[in-house]
Amino acid sequence: MYWYTFTPLDILLFRDAKPFTPGERAWAGSVFPPNGHAIAGSLRGLLQSRHDLTLCGPFLCQDLTLHLPRPLNYIGTQPLAPVPWLQQQEPEHPSQQMLWDQRRPAPLLATGKDPEDKTEKADKPEYRQYLPWEQVQRLLQGQTLSKEDWTCPEGQSPKPWTVETRPHNAILSGTRQVKDSDGYFVENGIRLDEGWSLAIGVDRNTHQALQDADIPTTVRLGGEGHQALLKRAESLDPQWQALQTPSQRNFARSGPALAYLVTPGVFERKRNGVATCQAWPWEWKLAHTSQPNQTPGSLVSVATERPVPISCRIQGNDGSSIPAPQVFAAPPGSVYYLNHPQPLFQDQPQTAQGQLNKTHNWRRLGYSELLWLPAALSNTEES
């Protein structure tokens, strides 16, 4: 991968997946970080072609330091572990008395001795929502993070951006009245903190096409014509490789592992003609099952939160473009506990029958990017 950065020249506007027309909805929501479709649209607009590209990211970047979303399998600084693993390690663990729905992923419990933070609310630290790549590398290597590693540096907020609300009015010509058809609506723009940018990785062919386009240059990014400065960031190349090396090593090992999702995961499958999304890959079957005819799989548990709605557009052969149905992606930072590593079906360009794997298009746009962590039950220092 060849890495580039988008440095905003103004606020950015990435509308959410809800349809919006002034007069029908008064509030135009915004989502951030942007999804792969928005990045691909910006690059294709620059290259003036339907160039086939492969993306990695986008990720946040501070002063040419890559940042990844915080893993969601932590409560504060305390790591979580699935009940079956705790029961195997400690025969006398209180979870031995627990019962849960075997059709769902196993519950997660904190592994620390004192998971409750008893400090006053005003004195509680704010935890990073995005970790520098060096700290993620330590997690990939099975090392521990201290409380200071998880805590936001002085003067920084958990999320390095602010939301700016901007109202709009459309006035009737010759009057002081608001138009009934357009009316009043509000947009939420995103302003990145100083020193922050968006980082993406691209394949060799796209890299060459961008170099031919006379980089650095300004590009349109998001809605309402807002622009960003696109430039090459060579120092990010070894940072990403430094994360890939231990991740691939963990994947190659046998035994339990954690799959750490660093971009939105789109796991969609048609069932009885209806497309359904869920928080984990459909091909990853549960390791525990109450169904007598179902073969146990590898997936033990899932640490995730509310889904990310994503809306893209379908391009017709005649150049027309229509909104595509929404999909609901697993949020970045989700963590999957498996008894042994298992690849994604959408990683494969072709199916077992040699047909084109359409779901591979999601991976090419940067979705469902996984890093593999070692399955240590305790991954933090005593505080």
Q: Does residue 383 belong to any structural domain of this protein?
A: no
Asked if 338 contacts 214 with a C-beta cutoff of 8 angstroms, the reply is no
Number of structural domains in the chain: 2
Q: What are the beta bridge partners of residue 201? A: 3, 56
**Same-domain check for residues 161 and 151:** no
Q: Does residue 381 belong to any structural domain of this protein?
A: no
Q: Does residue 228 belong to any structural domain of this protein?
A: yes
Asked if 106 contacts 98 with a C-beta cutoff of 8 angstroms, the reply is no
Question: In the chain, pLDDT over 70 holds for what percent of residues?
Answer: 83
Among residues 173, 207, 237, which one ends one of the domains?
237
Lowest mean pLDDT among 17-21, 44-48, 193-197, 248-252: 17-21
pTM above 0.85, yes or no: yes
d(CA 296, CA 70): 30
**8's tokens:** 């905003």
**Nearest one of 57, 365, 349, 55 to 203, comparing CA atoms:** 55
Residue 173 has pLDDT above 80, yes or no: no
Asked if 135 contacts 65 with a C-beta cutoff of 8 angstroms, the reply is no
**Same-domain check for residues 362 and 280:** yes
Q: What angle do CA 353, 355, 358 make, to 5 degrees?
A: 125
Per-residue model confidence as pLDDT tens digits over 80-126: 999 999 988 888 888 888 888 888 999 999 886 544 555 555 567 89
